[in-house]
Copies of this chain bind each other. A is one copy, B any other.
Amino acid sequence: MITALGGGVGAAKFLEGLCSIIGNEPLNIIVNTGDDIKLGGLNISPDVDTIIYRLTGAVDRKKGWGLEGDTFNFLNSLKKFGLDTWFNIGDQDIATHIYRTHLRSKGFSPVEITSKIARAFGLSDNISVLPMTDQDVETWIQTNEGEMHFQEYLVKRQMKPEVCRVAIRGIDSAEPAHGVIDSISGARAVIICPSNPIISIGPILQIKGIKEALRATQAQIVAISPLVGGRPLKGPADRLMRGLGLEVTSAQVARLYADFLDTMVIDIEDAHENQEIIDLGLKTLVVDTIMSDKKKASNLASSILELL
């Protein structure tokens, strides 16, 4: 059994590669729900959906999120009502949000709902997508232009405001969802996907009991840096790290995970950081981490599985 922690497009791409080589071995994916948002009354869980869409071949590969071939007639129609339309919801995609919202109103938990959505999309039975918690948490970014929901910062404001602080609202009282701790304790390997360390992996690590489970598990723990040459391939990891006063390097990412990590995977472009990471007491793997296609994602996953 393998367990992965992740959120966002980088994680989804890596997991697609991983799934293509693990056969029927059980894989648990603990997914960040800190960037969930409620818009127009709909419960939207972007990281969960991005991973399910990707692993079932439904994703719009060009954009990395949303559904292939989706239309946007709903969103256009929403404009006349003066509702927010900056968050891109496709006409097929909205069925997922309505289903989730409807089940939430009926009392189903995010874990139960995610499982139903995954099965509806035809996710393989050996894969479990687990929202990190059943409680609502929300990532808010304090910027030089005021505080805003992470999705507003990312999508509406296109990461333009300067980041001062990140607050994960509700995280202190969030419990790990059913299955999360066991999937860490019982795994032969735990993989931290190449996701944003501040707003994708960070919220997962802040949930009570998860860091302790990572420290205690017998599993080999491997993290893949989302940075190549001091920059993320997508998303605001560099802006967030810099805003919080952190160095924007793979070595810095390794430092954030050092107290539970065994091996840090960094890109060949960052080979000069290798010794710095070894000095933290970690093993390293220096490989090509750029997943420009499915084959390269499989290769990256293979190199990691060979370590274990």
Contacts and interface: CB of A to CB of B under 8 A. Distances in A.
Interface in A97-115: 98-99, 101-102, 105
Contacts of A105: 41
A216 interface: no
A77 B117 CA distance: 12
Given A74-B91, A81-B116, A81-B120, 12 more contacts: A40-B99, A40-B102, A42-B98, A73-B90, A74-B98, A75-B95, A77-B91, A77-B95, A77-B96, A80-B121, A81-B95, A94-B94
Contact of A73 (B70, B80, B120): B70
Chain A interface main SS type: helix
A92 to B, nearest CB: 4
Nearest to A117: B81
A308 interface: no
A80 B56 CA distance: 13
A74 B95 contact: yes
Interface string A38-58: 001110000000000000000
29 contacts: A40-B98, A41-B98, A41-B102, A41-B105, A42-B98, A67-B77, A71-B91, A73-B73, A73-B91, A74-B74, A74-B92, A74-B94, A74-B95, A74-B98, A75-B95, A77-B92, A77-B93, A77-B94, A77-B95, A77-B96, A78-B98, A80-B95, A80-B120, A81-B95, A81-B116, A82-B120, A83-B99, A91-B91, A94-B94
Contacts of A121: 80
Contacts of A117: 81
A195 to B, nearest CB: 27
Interface of A: 40-42, 67, 70-71, 73-78, 80-83, 90-96, 98-99, 101-102, 105, 116-117, 120-121
A95 to B, nearest CB: 4
Nearest to A105: B41
Contact of A71 (B73, B101, B116): B73
A70 B77 CA distance: 10
B92 A76 contact: yes
Nearest to A70: B73
Contact of A83 (B70, B77, B83, B102): B102
A33 to B, nearest CB: 20
- Which of A78, A95, A101, A120 has the most CB atoms of chain B within a 10 A radius of its CB? A95
Which of A70, A78, A105 counts the most chain B CB atoms within 10 A? A78
